[in-house]
A and B are shown apart, each in its own frame.
Chain A
Amino acid sequence: MATDRSRTADRIRRIMAAEGDSVERNTRGFNEGRYDSVDRLEEYDAYKDRARAIKEDAIERLPELIERVRETVEENGGTVYLADDAADANRYVRELARERAAETVVKSKSMTTEEIDLNEALDAEGCDVWETDLGEFVLQVADEAPSHLVAPAIHQSREEIAALFNEYFDPDMELETAEELTAFAREYLGDRIENADIGVTGANFVTADTGTMALVTSEGNARKTVAVPDTHVAVAGVEKIVPTFEDLQPFVELIARSGTGQDITSYVSLFSPPVATPPVDFDDDGPIADDPADRDFHLVLLDNGRMDMREDDQLRETLYCIRCGACSNSCANFQSVGGHAFGGETYSGGIATGWEAGVHGRESADDFNDLCTGCSRCVNQCPVKIDIPWINTVVRDRRNRGAEDGQLDFLVEGLTPDEEPAGMDLQKRFFGNFATLAKLGSATAPVSNWVADTLPSRLAMERVLGVDRRRDLPEFERETFVEWFRNRDVPRPVDADYHAVVYPDLYTNYIRTDRGKATVRTLEALGVAVEVPEVASSGRAPLSQGMIATAEDHAREVSANLEPYLEAGYDVVAVEPSDLAMFRGEYERLLDERRSETIAERSYEVFEYVYGLLENGVDPASLSGADDAGGAGSALAYHSHCQQRTLELEAYTTDVLERLGYDVVTSDVECCGMAGSFGYKSEYYELSVDVGERLKEQFEMPEAADRTVVASGTSCLEQLDGLLARRPRHPISLVAPDGSE
């Protein structure tokens, strides 16, 4: 275990050093472009809903649509082959190449052909295969795998590509600028296209009613690949089918914006092959239009596990993916290391877990599933609204259970066991059962803190549990938040208009009790009758280790604990955003509908609740404003929490702070890189710090450098505490009236 961990850490460190800079520059550029571009699209949310609905419908009706595609393509004069798996698809294309005695095959970018290793198959047939997309071409020359769904070579810098080309092709003039490299590639590939016997493309979408394939590109290579050779083979996963031609429209609006932040790519080609364009024989000197040659078109529809994914209630959503790459671009970890660290045989980034588990079997998802911290920043960015972190959690759970490869439907059974499997990784167990640890740590504080912090125990924790010794451990309070509240001697308001339970999450209850106390004081000052009962931990910790069954137990307990309060008309106020995100999000998957809906509707993030009170006319005069908050100053640099932002709650905090006279600047990096246990794990510690550096840089810029740093999440606070010289605070501690407790 320990050596596995250091091997993983080494690998990540190496990739981060070699590829991190290019990946960071490119993905962040795409990501910023995406925010701008979707802002310009008025109907953005409506398009997302439509895109989702089309995909749901298409996957539901897939067998029927496959038959429809077969009919329409055949009516147009093409051939459809439904391939069971990679070997079947490759065999079909190889035979075609053999029949045509094809010497040169040109391809335009297609992840699906990467998935089945078509190039190798054609090589074995003696064909000269060339990738015409420039990114793919670079990878072909470098003999590397793609690191990104949309921009496969983003990890390579111009300098690296120049060195690679100069060495490999030994051109007359050394290549240096992007223009020179592009011109060289265009010419080199142009010759290959002219001589090609077969053109291979993928397809972004295939329409069932007209047999049209949509190819989304910018370079023009797909157009040439289709137009020049007289034989065209398109390889597409069966999930690419949409029912009607008009269904393409929302995707055309969304795909480029989501991926690279362009409103639209230079070319969206809509071909219903065989195309009307005459093929070009460059050895002939008559007019092209006279060429009587028939065109030949083959659509290879690939199953390769997809029909099983369709039957799998948890993995099905993966099939809605249009492979735009937005999830990768918005992923803080991906921004630091890129797709090669995420691993997988073909696909990369968050959604790759679903793809790899579905098409290559769960083992190929093993290496990288851990890099998803569940921060949820990708969820709102996905144009088809896939809950990517949930897919990661499911695959993690299945992996924990070590079930047989290829069994995709056992989650149902997996959701109802009494306990986690015996062989499960100790590190996961440790972080997954943080609730138990916190209870124990607090009961024996401060001794537990001293013991935990001695070098021998840090070494042991690192060796056995993989808890990185460079990361400060949380310090447990002897008196828990719940106990403090119980022991407190403060008169309860009578006839209060509002009643609220302050949810004592693990951190607030055992470690950061101050923010709990500040929350109670704030709410009471605003006239709320507050209770802090003993409530189970939310299940966030086990869930992020993929321990779904345990998380489900927690959820049931929380629901039972809260039930009497909810019935008595209490709202639930959460301090920790990741717990609120459980209540509003994952509980839907863990509890029955009635219970999850009640909790979701009645729970609030603390500043959201305060905002609501103020909007309802409650007077904020009793809160501490900018002028009287104990030495904090009125200028703040605020870092919201990833899940809080996904739930669109950031504005409540900034609004309340501003009403109280604070001047607030906010960070816009996706995430602090901490995400609960992630930054503690020795294999990910350095990656976590690298992600945190982006936040640190923002808060060290002149306009933020002198501001008091505030953050909402516990893990963000810890990350910031480790990286910044200033000690960050929770915003509630600024606004709470002074207390003597």
Chain B
Amino acid sequence: MQTQLETFETNLGSVRTGVTRTSPAAFQDVLGDVIDEPAIGAPIPFAELSLEGTGVVLEPTPDQLREATCGVTAAALGVADYGTVVLESTPAGAELAGLFPDRHVVVVRERDLVADMAAAFERLGERFRDGNDDAVLATGPSATADMGDLVHGVHGPRETHAVIVEDAAE
């Protein structure tokens, strides 16, 4: 029997998303390994984690947005069954950082995993009614088959990578 975390990892793999597991303490080190510079991002809304001092530009200009090869943003939820991450829009431009650069690194906390879409929609319903009312269910990189063959990286990222931050042991 797989744990929810393992299911999530397996499914991320099957939607072409790389996975790195880490702890809050090792987060910044690990991040250094999976980002390509120039990198941009949006502040991570989790108290125990931060992008400050990682070389990720947090308030990009349009030019920096255009030039960045990598974007780092946080996910509000991870849906284990699908390998889906839930990306919320923020006034700081999280949506843009996860969309423009070629590589998207998404930070998901283990505690924010849910088993399936039904659970995800329940949580999202609450968040939407509370005023966090934009979200993208993102599953793998952007893709198209319109040019005669499957190609990854169309208007959105070509590569996706999830950094999963495990819950600290009690």
Identify the A interface with B (CB < 8 A): 26, 76, 132-135, 137-138, 151, 153, 156-159, 161, 177-179, 181-182, 185-186, 189-190, 193-194, 210, 212, 218-221, 223-224, 227, 244-246, 248-249, 252-253, 260, 263-272, 275-278, 280-290
Contacts and interface: CB of A to CB of B under 8 A. Distances in A.
A51 to B, nearest CB: 13
Given A178-B148, A189-B155, A219-B155, A267 B129 contact: no
* 10 closest A-B pairs by CB: A158-B148, A220-B156, A178-B149, A220-B155, A272-B133, A134-B146, A135-B146, A287-B59, A219-B154, A220-B142
Contacts of A272: 128, 133-134
B162 interface: no
Contacts of A177: 149
Contact of A284 (B62, B93, B140, B146): B62
Interface in B102-119: 117-118
Nearest to B98: A223
A267 B138 CA distance: 5
Given A218-B144, A264-B82, A182 B89 contact: no
Given A221-B155, A227-B96, A289 B91 contact: yes
Which among A134, A223, A224, A278 has the greatest number of chain B C-beta atoms within 10 A? A223
Contacts of B91: 276-278, 289
Nearest to A160: B148
A266 B139 contact: yes
A290 B89 CA distance: 15
A271 B137 contact: no
Contacts of A271: 89, 134
B143 A266 contact: yes
A270 B124 contact: yes
B151 A179 contact: yes
Which of A185, A249, A267 counts the most chain B CB atoms within 10 A?
A267
A285 to B, nearest CB: 5
Nearest to B59: A287
Interface of B: 59-63, 65-66, 82, 84, 88-96, 99, 117-118, 121-122, 124-125, 128-129, 133-151, 153-157
B144 A182 contact: yes
A281 B62 contact: yes
Contacts of B134: 270-272, 275-277
A280 B121 contact: no
A179 B99 CA distance: 19
A182 B149 CA distance: 10
A132 B155 contact: yes
A142 to B, nearest CB: 12
Nearest to A139: B146
A131 to B, nearest CB: 11
A210 B133 CA distance: 8
Given A182-B151, A210-B133, A266 B62 contact: no
A631 to B, nearest CB: 49
Contacts of B65: 280, 288
B137 A252 contact: yes
B151 A218 contact: no
Contacts of A158: 147-149
Nearest to B129: A210
A285 B147 contact: no
A289 B139 contact: no
B125 A245 contact: yes
Contacts of A266: 138-143, 156
A220 B65 CA distance: 16
Contact of B62 (A76, A269, A276, A288): A288
- Which of A156, A182, A268, A271 neighbours the largest number of chain B CB atoms within 10 Å of its CB? A182
B154 A277 contact: no
Nearest to B148: A158
A268 B92 contact: no
A289 B138 contact: no
Given A221-B155, A268-B137, A245 B121 contact: yes
A154 to B, nearest CB: 8
A283 B118 CA distance: 43
Contacts of B141: 266
Contacts of B62: 280-285, 288
Contact of B95 (A157, A161, A277): A277
Contacts of A268: 136-137
B95 A227 contact: yes
A29 to B, nearest CB: 9
23 contacts: A133-B146, A137-B146, A151-B145, A156-B148, A182-B144, A185-B147, A193-B155, A194-B66, A212-B133, A223-B136, A246-B122, A260-B145, A263-B139, A264-B82, A264-B139, A267-B136, A267-B138, A277-B93, A280-B65, A282-B62, A287-B59, A288-B60, A289-B92
